[in-house]
Amino acid sequence: MTVHHGSIARIVVRAAFGLGLLLAGCESGPGECAPGAEDCRCVSPDRCDDGLVCSDGTCRAPRLVGLDVPSGAAACEVLLLDGAAEVSGVRFADGVIGAHVREEPRTSVSFAASGEGAMPGRAVSLEILGDGDLGSIGRAWCVDAAGREVTGDVRIGG
């Protein structure tokens, strides 16, 4: 069998071209960031992979800090004031419904037991971005299932 050097060269060039096309189809290579992943750019509009939050165009992992409510509380309203860190989101425990509104440097959180009775002691987890302390509670008000004010403090936990 006779092999011509031109034939071998064409085979090598075609194989290299095919490999180049295959590699060009990859979404990201080593050292590249996939949008939405941690420490990578956010996916439009301001979305990130599960568990991450978009901050200044970059997806970050927040730390979670609990908000402890007094025993017997069925509903609460809490005004949080930023410190060195800020609230980026709020997660509610099972059996708790609620909402939050952020207007820098404050975050207002309202939440209640979804059924009858009191909420669990750690009804809310705050998603925190930034180093340092969260800040403080500006105001807090809780009521029991009958609508009576509950004594005791709402506290920022660990």
Instruction: Identify whether 40 is part of a domain.
Output: no
pLDDT at 135: 87
Is the per-residue pLDDT at 15 higher than 70?
Answer: no
Instruction: Identify whether 140 is part of a domain.
Output: yes
Instruction: Tell me the pLDDT band of 44, cut-offs 50, 70 and 90.
Output: confident
Domain that residue 123 falls in: 62-156
pTM, rounded to two decimals:
0.71
Is the per-residue pLDDT at 13 higher than 60?
Answer: no
Instruction: Identify whether 132 is part of a domain.
Output: yes
> What is the rounded distance in angstroms from the CA atom of residue 42 to the CA atom of residue 28?
15
Q: Which domain CATH number covers 148? A: 2.60.40.680
Count how many domains the chain has.
1
pLDDT at 20: 42
Query: Left if phi > 0, otherwise alpha if psi is -120 to 50, otherwise beta: which for 72?
Result: left
Query: Left if phi > 0, otherwise alpha if psi is -120 to 50, otherwise beta: which for 130?
Result: left
pLDDT at 31: 65
Q: What is the mean pLDDT of residues 22-35?
A: 58
